[in-house]
Amino acid sequence: MNADLSNDLLAWYDRHARTLPWRVPPGSGAKPDPYRVWLSEVMLQQTTVAAVKGYFERFTARWPTVEALAAAEDADVMAEWAGLGYYARARNLLACARAVAACGGFPRTEAELRTLPGIGAYTAASVASIAFGQRAVVVDGNVERVMTRVFDIATPLPAARNEIRAYADSLTPSERPGDHAQAVMDLGATICTPRSPACVVCPWREPCLARKRGVQKDRPVKPPKREVPQRRGVVYVGRREDGAWLLETRGADRMLGGMLGWPGSAWDRGEEEAPPPVAGPWTALNTEARHGFSHFALGLRVMVARLPLDTQAGQASFVPADRFSPDMIPTVMRRVLAVALTSPLIADAEPTVQA
């Protein structure tokens, strides 16, 4: 039965595979590039395909090989990653690229891939399977949803994961394992969707136990939602009279480490208050900047100031207006900027013409 399921799915995938910039179409005869497979899998962790496409295309245009990425400046990579979220991935990306370049290329097996910095079980299985044709069991959120429905797994997540993996393993073929892995992910992303599964066109419609029992929308069973912890902090958005912005590079041991951002309190460590980074007529805005992280919600009190030309930046630095772009800073800092720009102290700061 499982061989029939795999064959039916691969036949469906050959006709309906998504066109993605990192993917080799089935039947094309082209070999997947391990670098592009690995880069896409890292970017796709807890991030949607729609959000990743543009970043992937810019990254591969700027750094077309793992060797090129390994030679890149940390700050350049962090700036290019800004807005994609989960910034530890970018630091691990660089560490892994440098390790791969140092050993002359990506290892081919799942076990060897696991030895690289930042590569866990899922990424190792994906690269081994998709890039090198190794039989490996690839399980992401889409695969979890498909397996719980096809086999009607009523055990709540995360306790169900060993059972899910066992079923996924039983379906993974020795031939075309990479296409099979991508096919299950495509099935979950396009047909076996969370809220409105399109069962009528699913290649696994007949054997799907959850569909037969009318419980497909109840799978997977998720644990009760926990209350999200709330954190608070303060952030300082300063703009000099010539239009330059006061920014800091966050320490490597901090959340968003290595990224540019506005100075402020160590909210990632539970600190709500911090003195201004420079002296100035700081004004508190009425609107708070809010952002949701994976494990807490953050509210930031926004302080703004227009600063004299002779202001010394201290531990921060001034970035000229013509060199600053919101794309340089992570999403939470962009939300702070959106609030700050409601103040004429920031929005109306025009460059001063020097004699």
Q: Which residues are catalytic?
A: 41
Question: How far is Cα 281 from Cα 343, in angstroms, rounded to an integer?
Answer: 14
DSSP H or E run through 318:
strand 317-319
Question: How far is Cα 277 from Cα 264, in angstroms, rounded to an integer?
Answer: 7
Instruction: Name the residue with tokens 């498909």.
Output: 146
Distance set, CA 318 to CA 203, 270, 324 (Å): 57, 27, 10
CA dihedral 197, 200, 206, 208 (to 10 degrees): 10
Phi, psi (rounded to 5 degrees) for 234: -130, 145
DSSP H or E run through 307:
strand 297-307
Strand partners, 298: 231, 291
Both tokens assigned to 272: 């709500």
Distance set, CA 226 to CA 3, 45, 217, 269 (Å): 40, 22, 21, 21
Which pairing describes strands 297-307 and 230-240: parallel, antiparallel, or unpaired?
parallel
User: Of 177, 256, 224, nearest to 13 (Cα)?
Assistant: 177
Question: CA triplet 82, 239, 347: central angle to 5 degrees?
Answer: 85
Both tokens assigned to 56: 């992937």
CB count, 10 Å around CB of 144?
Answer: 21
Question: How far is Cα 35 from Cα 51, in angstroms, rounded to an integer?
Answer: 19
Which pairing describes strands 245-249 and 260-261: parallel, antiparallel, or unpaired?
antiparallel
